[in-house]
Every structure is written in structure tokens, then in C-alpha cells.
Amino acid sequence: MQTFPTAKIRNVALVGHQGAGKTTLAEALLFAAGATSRMGRVEDGTTVADFDPEEHRRGLSVGLSVVPVESDGHKINLLDSPGYADFVADVDAALSVADLALFVVSAVEGVEVQTEVAWKLAEARGIPRAFFVNKLDRERASFARTLDDLKSKFGAGVAPLQLPIGEEAALRGVVELLDDHAITYEAGAVRGTDGPIPTDMEAEEHAVHDALVEGIVVADDALMERYLMEEPLDLSELEKTLAKGVDEGSVFPVLCGSATKLIGIDRLAHFLVEEAPAPHIGAGPTAVRVFKTIVDQYVGHVNLFRVVQGDVNADDHLVNARNQKDERLHQIFVMRGKEQDAVKSLAAGDIGGVAKLADVRTGDVLASAGAAVEVDALVPPMPLLATAIRAKNKNDEDKLANALHRLEDEDPVIRIERNPETHQTLLWGTGETHLAIALSKLATKFGVEVDTDEPKVAYRETITGTAEAEGKVKKQSGGHGQFAVAWLRVEPRDRGAGVEFAEQIVGGVIPRNFIPAVEKGVMDAVAHGGAHGFPVVDVKVTVFDGKHHSVDSSEMAFKTAASIGLREALGKAGAIVLEPISELVITVPEASQGDVMGDLNAKRGRVQGSASVGGGEVEITATVPTSEAMRYSIDLRSMTGGRGRYTARASHYDPLPAHLVDKVSAPSKEH
């Protein structure tokens, strides 16, 4: 593939709800440009963009892919992003390197939740936005209804550039509003035929045309004056002013058609070339930013990057800003789905890939030595749903750690945690589908089979009173026996103060050299659990008396005596179970506030406060028992139709209500 100059590059993120037709639209643009000999189908796994085996199995996009299309001397880098809620991190990754977000919206379903989620992400990044209303050939499709929905959700800047000719099975073309002409399509044709506007559409077209032109010229005083004077306006002037409005984020054009029937696809390509912004680039030495990592079992790590500034060439040496390590880009290439097309260089603003770098992660910036480059951070969402995993067999135990590391490399949202209190390895993700795909990849991509369990809650226990008890070991079996007596006192400490060991031995009743053994016995006992089987916290343990034998006493005897004495003392001191409490910060639509707060109360939560955060949303802060919040991501998605989001952090421990103690401690004791 040739090298394209910055002015001829268009980076376009395809975003929207699952099933709106983003991948099919990318396929249609490829086919219309002559880059493929036939249209691939999502249903049978033959599309260029969906190349992961998981995508073939599930019939949906689960990762971001890059599909470059050449059209009219320009290179359009299509960034096909997933539309399922669990994979929103790849949507944000696409937006982080795009210069236009093209929202693909189904004319049947209208604006759906992930379209709204992607809009917020694009708005936060200040990215120009446009719409393609797809599936106008389907039963129950309506352009007018969908356009009203877009205007209602996204404001007055939504401006149709086209109207469909016919709908549902009768869809046969589009009317171009800027220059007042119709384009109709023969079945299977990738190019439309120009013609007059259908008579029955003339009145509607003229009204929408005038509203569109007024919306465009208002951004240019000179053009506005000529329009008011009823002077003729040249199409190129209108297109140039429209492009300025798109780039500034004040106009959100709406195009329409059908990706499967190839209606309007050539006009969409024309819009992307003429009206979509070219990359905004910084000046200075070469710098690239990695926005996606693919772990290939044959090639190894493939890093996808955007050239932030300067040109990048094969064999360039760049320094990783994170670790200051030199990386040599032996070969750079352009990705088209899973295919790699080697190139000698890429201009600023272009998107490419590189393999086999030493230590490069998603989000890293590589730049010429000494260059200082600032880019927007690529922060993955917090993973909020976990499953406990363990290797199925001994052979897989050795491979599991490496496989998990590679999984994290490919998907920065994935988090692996070893919980020292529950002794479980936890795999964290954004939702059930995300975790299911991660587990499947472990098996099929990295060759490791695992079993899964429900995550355990890290309960603890402490005491409410003071007690004393004797720990005694006396065993005689000919020769040396075992003898030790240790008297221990336990008393509560402040929450979070930890375990303290003290000694008040006088008169040598326990020799000094055995005191460390007593302490070891105490610490082992609190770690292995008290009366309810959970680790003991926030107690002071004092050894204040004891006995020894000059021959039969030993470190082991005193360690065992201390453990016995501690367990007995704890049993007398009013043991209680402590449960971990999480702090949740939840953002939901105002309409869902009542349901969410009622659910928090049902989960034994305590609402700390709520406040409006604009955009029709409210932020709720609450503390909730961790056991009740383990699957909160699923509950919140259900309550808010996918529009709610939250963060969670460990907060503190509180006493578990007495009526729940038996329920949680019995399994622990069995374990």
C-alpha cells in the first residue's frame, strides 16, 4: 500500500449499538471501493473486520479492528468498534485515534443505549460526529422516526444531508439535499445513477434543503449575507463550510442508506473524503501512540498505533516514554482486519502496526529520543465483575501464569488478582460476556483449561471483650516429652489497628528464648481463623504467665500451647464476624434514581449522598457490603437499561449482622 499524506487521510471510528450494522458497513465500503471481490457476512464469519474466532462463534464484534479503504485518492482508516456494553474500552480506544466518530444507527431500532454511551465518550474527547442511518430496507424501518430520535437525544446540531427514496422493501436510493438531486441504485450496484427528485418528495426536499443551508451558512458571516440577499451559493462553498462545522463539532450530519443493499455507500465514501476532517497533528519529531495490542499465537505481540507527529519509517528507533527503553521498528505495516501489508513509511496522522517490540503496552507513546509528547490518556474502565479460576490439571498450572499475563497484554481491562485471604485467583472483567470470552481465549488461544468458582468474600473476625485462657501441652512418651504452659490474655483494639503481641513474663516462668515461639503460635493461630473460621484482626494478645520443663520444653511445644490458649481465649471474648464494605459511586439517569436507591437499601447499603451531574444524570455515593455488590454490574445494567455506570473501592469493615453469621461461617469452618 502506498504512503498517503496527512491531508489525504481520514480516521473514522464506526460506533453504535450492537446489531446496527457497523461491521457490514465497513464491508460495504471495502466492496464499493473494489478492495474485496465479494461482500463478507457477519453471520458466516467472512467479514474482513471480524477475524477473531470468538467473533465467528458469537456473531458479534468483540474487539477493535482497523480496515483501511482507498477512495478518490484518499485513505479512510475505518476503526470498527464493538457495540456490546462489555467492550466499551475498545470503543474509547477507537475514539482516541479517530478524527470523526460515525454513529451507525438502525432505522428499525433507532437510538439505543450504546449509541448514547459512545456519544458521551466522543463528546468528552471533543471528536467531530456524524450519523449513518442504516437498515432502511428492513421491515418497520423509518428515517423520519429515527431522525426525530437523533434530534431529541443529541440536539439541534443534528442535520440531515440526505433523505431516503422509499423505505423498507421499496428503498431504492437517496436524495442529496445540498445540491438537490436524487441518486437511485440498481440491485447489487455500488454506484448510483443521478436523476431528478421524485415528484412526491419535492415539497419535503425543498423544506429540508432550506433548513440545512440555513444551518450551514450561519457559521460564515459572508456566506450568510449572500444567502439572505438570495445570491446563488456554490456547492463547493457549502461543502467547505459544512466541513468546518463538522470539524468544530457544531454540526452533526446525517446520511442514510442500506449497507447490505449498497444503497448510499458511495455517497457515504464521498462525504468522508470531502467533509470529514483530516488528522489534527502536532509539530515536532516522530511520535506514535499505541492504542491496541493483539497477541497472536504465531506472530506474538502486534501493536497498533497512530502517528501523532512526524513520519515513521521502517527500522526507526523510538524511545518508550514509559520505561525509556529503545525500540526498533523492524517492519511497519498497515492492518486490514488480520492481514498485514508492509509499508516503508507512514505519514503523521496515519494508523499502522508493528510486531515483536520488546516491552510495549497499550497506551504507550514511542518517540524520537529527547522528544516530549503530550497525548490524551487512554484509561481503561474499571473491571467490576470477577470469577475465581484454577487450572484444570497440573500441566496447566505451570502455563496459567504466562497465559494470564498475555491475556492482560491484549486486553488492558482484564485484571488478575491473587487474594491472600481467600486463596483464590480472580479474573476481573466488565461483564459476563467479557469474562466468558477471556476464559474461552485462555483455552483456545493460549492452550490453558481452567475451572471457575464463585469468588469468596474476605470475612474477618475480632472480639468485643477481654478474656484469659491457659494453653497447655503435656506429652510423655519415654525419653524426651513435650511440655509447655502459656497463659494468654486477649483484648480488643480499634478497628484497623491490627494484631499486637506483648509479653509480661516475670521470674523466668517461660524462658526468654521461647517467647518468639509463643508469638509465632499466636500469629499462626490468628491467621488460620478464630471461632468462626476467619482470620482474626484488631486484637492485643499478651502472654503473662506460664510454666516450662528444663528437659521437655521446646519451641514446638510453646508454639502449640500458644495456639491452643489463643483459640480458647478468643472463644470466651465475644467473637464477632466482620464483613468488607465497598464504596460505590454510581451515575444513573435521573429516571432510574428511585429504583437504584431502593435496590441499595435492599442490599443493606447506606446512601451517603446524591447530586445532579448534568445531562439528566445523578451521582449517588453509597457504602454497600461487598458480598451484596459482587454482581452489581449486572444488577445496575438491568435496572438502568445499560445506562448506569459506577466505580467501586474497598472502604472498611463492619460487624456482620448476627442473623447472617451462621450462613457465612459454616462454609469457612468446613474449608
- The whole-angstrom separation of Cα 366 and Cα 324 is 9
> Could you read off the pLDDT of 91-122 as tens digits, one per residue?
999 999 999 999 999 999 999 999 999 999 99
Percent of the residues in the chain that have a pLDDT greater than 70, as a whole number: 99
Bridge partner residues of 317 (DSSP): 328
What's the mean pLDDT in 505-531?
Answer: 94
CA distance 417 to 463: 29
Q: How far apart are CA 267 and CA 184, in angstroms?
A: 11
Q: Quick one: average pLDDT of 573-600?
A: 96
Q: Between vectors from CA 331 to CA 330 and to CA 333, what angle results, nearest 5°?
A: 155
CA 499 from centroid of its chain's CA atoms: 39
| Residues 16-41, mean pLDDT to the nearest whole number | 93
Residue 536 Rama label (left phi>0; alpha psi -120 to 50; beta)? beta
Q: Rounded distance, CA 295 to CA 517, Å?
A: 50
pLDDT band at 480 (very low <50, low <70, confident <90, very high): confident
Q: What are phi and psi of 396, to 5 degrees?
A: -75, -20
Round the average pLDDT of the chain to a whole number and report it: 93
Classify the C-alpha dihedral 243-249-252-257 as positive or negative. positive
**Could you give the CA distance from residue 472 to residue 489 in angstroms, rounded to a whole number?**
14
Residue 296 has pLDDT above 90, yes or no: no
β-strands 326-328, 158-160: how paired? unpaired
Contact 16, 115 (CB under 8 A): yes
d(CA 304, CA 320): 15
Rg (alpha carbons) of the chain, rounded to whole number: 33
pLDDT grade, residue 671 (50/70/90)? very low
Count of CB atoms situated within 10 Å of the CB of 309: 22
Please compute the mean of the pLDDT values over residues 473-481 and round it to a whole number.
78
Which 3-state string (H, E, C) describes 390-449?
EECCHHHHHHHHHHHHHHHHHCCCCEEEEECCCCEEEEEECCHHHHHHHHHHHHHCCCCC
d(CA 433, CA 83): 13
Over the stretch 384-403, which tens digit does the pLDDT of each residue have?
999 999 999 888 888 999 99
Task: Specify the pLDDT at position 174.
Answer: 97
370 pLDDT band, cuts 50/70/90, is confident
From the list 327, 349, 353, the residue with the least C-alpha distance to 339 is 353
DSSP secondary structure letters along 311-353: -EETT-EEEETTT--EEE---EEEEETTEEEEESEE-TT-EEE
CB 587 within 8 A of CB 619: yes
What is the spatial distance between Cα 669 and Cα 671, in angstroms, rounded to a whole number?
Answer: 5
pLDDT at 666 over 70: no
List Cα–Cα distances, 618 to 460, 585, 588, in angstroms.
34, 10, 6
CA gap 215, 231 in Å, rounded: 17
- Domains annotated for the chain, with CATH where assigned, are 6-171+249-274 (3.40.50.300), 287-367 (2.40.30.10), 385-453 (3.30.70.870), 461-573 (3.30.230.10), 578-670 (3.30.70.240)
pLDDT value of position 665: 77
What φ, ψ does residue 519 adopt, rounded to 5°? -60, -40
Q: Report the distance separating Cα 288 and Cα 309, nearest Å.
A: 7
Neighbours of 198 (CB within 10 A): 15
Amino acid at 469: A
Q: Angle, to 10 degrees, between the axis of helix 202-217 and the axis of helix 235-248?
A: 60
Phi and psi angles of residue 431, each rounded to the nearest 5 degrees, phi first: -175, 180
Residue 178: per-residue pLDDT:
92
Q: How confident is the model at residue 207 (pLDDT cuts 50, 70, 90)?
A: very high
Burial class (CB in 10 A: 0-12, 13-18, 19+), 271: buried
Quickly state the pLDDT bin for 667 (edges 50, 70, 90).
low
Which three cell numbers mark 523?
Answer: 500469629
